[in-house]
Amino acid sequence: MGFSSTSVPAVHPADFQFRCIACGHLSDSASRDFRCAACRDLLEITYPAWKQRKPEPEPLTSLWRNRRTLMNDADLSGVWRFRELLPAVDEAQIVTLREGNTPLYRLPRCARSLGMPQLLAKHQGMNPTGSFKDTGMTVAATFARRAGFHWVACASTGNTSASMAAYAARGGMRSLVLVPEGKISWSKLSQALDYGALTCQLRTDFDGCLGLLQQLVLRAPVYQLNSINPFRLEGQKTIALELLEQLEWEPPNHIIVPGGNLGNSSAIGKALVETRDLGLISQLPKLSVIQAAGANALARTVREGGKRLVAVQPDTRATAIRIGSPASWKKAVQALEATGGACEEVSEIEIAQAKAEIGAEGIGCEPASAVTLAGLKRLLKRGFVKPAETVVLVLTGHSLKDPDYTIDFHRGELFRGTADESAATALGPLRHPPIVLDAMLDAVLRVLDQAEKS
């Protein structure tokens, strides 16, 4: 197959429209790079029919609940179960790995340490490929296949590549992954390799990879599956829908998410506004975004008024959010403004501590997820979150996404040779390094006795 720039299929949907987030321009089809034809800003999906006839809340919630007992692929998916609020597609065309349906955990130890009656965590790391990306990828991959694409592609720090490669394989498509060389977790990259992706490690950062992908899709029949693809965000909306359903449609006071390329915060914010407008909830939770201090583009942008992106050179061990020029920053700012949320940044020490504290609950997450707990501490300290309020942390990735981080932390090597090395000694009580012993019963008994006394 030749890669001529004129052979790219297009989708012309009838049940929804693409709307520019900046100028409001509406269209029935999207450009290859998902940017507005009028002003070149990002697009989102809107549903004109809702203006004439809104779905009724009570029948909708009953329908979604009843589908949990059914066994067809669309209903076994925690995304497509909510298909009345998604772009319409023939169920036979759906590409699914039974994503969604993720648990909502209580974090009693963390809650007690913060003086809160309860604290909840929605764990998106329990998706098929181990991250929240699957909820959006099922929708985007479905529409890629529906449009007739043979190749899909993404730029990635790891999680997106794993998810895209899996859904491409499931949907009978081929996948191209562009990753920054030496700046992602090999655990994540191994997934993309296993699912058959053509993987290119580029001598640049994530933002450089994404910029090159934007050029590529204008030259070749390749469908991009990064979060600037609005179908991705429609799928990721269901994270909020499922959470609200688990809370019996009584919204929490706060939802706190990590901030990387900012598609997830944009999607959840969109879902909250839509569910409020449709009468599914009576009030909006405050959606807050937490970033690593070394990759704090949104935090800086918000501090300077939110009108212009303040890009940074990213530097954090939380690889999933090591992004300096987030593509969806405008959508994220709109979500913060719509819900009255906040944006905070946290240090590497705070991230490591929060990850260990979540782990002590028996719940593993990747470092990027732990920024939510670290950020909650800051939001409590400044009074933005009140201890009695209901808070849900969105954990975006599984702990096995970055096992090297966890091993380095517990062996005391995570901050060795860095400016944080001396400060990291305070984290000693949270470390549980392996103990090397002779294979003797008495040696094990002594260690057990010492642990009992500690």
d(CA 346, CA 293): 5
pLDDT for residue 187: 86
Contact present, 324 and 313 (Cβ < 8 Å): yes
pLDDT for residue 200: 93
Tally the domains of the chain.
1
* Tokens coding 390: 């209901």
pLDDT for residue 6: 40
d(CA 322, CA 314): 5
pLDDT for residue 9: 43
Q: Does 337 reside within a domain?
A: yes
* Residues linked to residue 175 through DSSP beta bridges, in sequence order: 152
Q: Does 207 reside within a domain?
A: no
Q: What phi, psi does 304 have (nearest 5°)?
A: -95, 20
pLDDT for residue 7: 42
Identity at 189, one-letter amino acid code: L
CATH number at residue 329: 3.40.50.1100
* Start-to-end Cα distance in the chain: 66
User: Alpha helix (H) ranges present in 57-202?
Assistant: 57-67, 73-76, 108-114, 133-146, 159-170, 186-194
Per-residue model confidence as pLDDT tens for the chain (454 residues)? 444 444 444 433 448 999 999 999 999 999 888 999 999 999 999 999 898 888 889 999 999 999 999 999 999 999 999 999 999 999 999 999 999 999 999 999 999 999 999 999 999 999 999 999 999 999 999 999 999 999 999 998 889 999 999 999 999 999 999 998 876 788 888 999 999 999 999 999 988 999 999 999 999 999 999 999 999 999 999 999 999 999 999 999 999 999 999 999 999 999 999 999 999 999 999 999 999 999 999 999 999 999 999 999 999 999 999 999 999 999 999 999 999 999 999 999 999 999 999 999 999 999 999 999 999 999 999 999 999 999 999 999 999 999 999 999 999 999 999 999 999 999 999 999 999 999 999 999 999 999 998 8
Q: Does 192 reside within a domain?
A: no
Q: Does 225 reside within a domain?
A: no
pLDDT for residue 11: 38
Q: Does 359 reside within a domain?
A: yes
pLDDT for residue 97: 98
pLDDT for residue 1: 41
Q: Does 208 reside within a domain?
A: no
* Tokens coding 78: 């925690």
Looking only at Cα atoms, what is the longest distance across the chain?
Answer: 76
Residue closest to 320 by CA, chosen among 139, 167, 129, 34 = 129
* Residue 31 exposed, middle or buried by CB count within 10 Å (0-12, 13-18, 19+): middle
pLDDT for residue 121: 98
* Residues linked to residue 35 through DSSP beta bridges, in sequence order: 42
Q: Does 330 reside within a domain?
A: yes
* Residue 114 exposed, middle or buried by CB count within 10 Å (0-12, 13-18, 19+): middle
Domain containing 387: what range? 104-129+236-420
Q: Does 295 reside within a domain?
A: yes
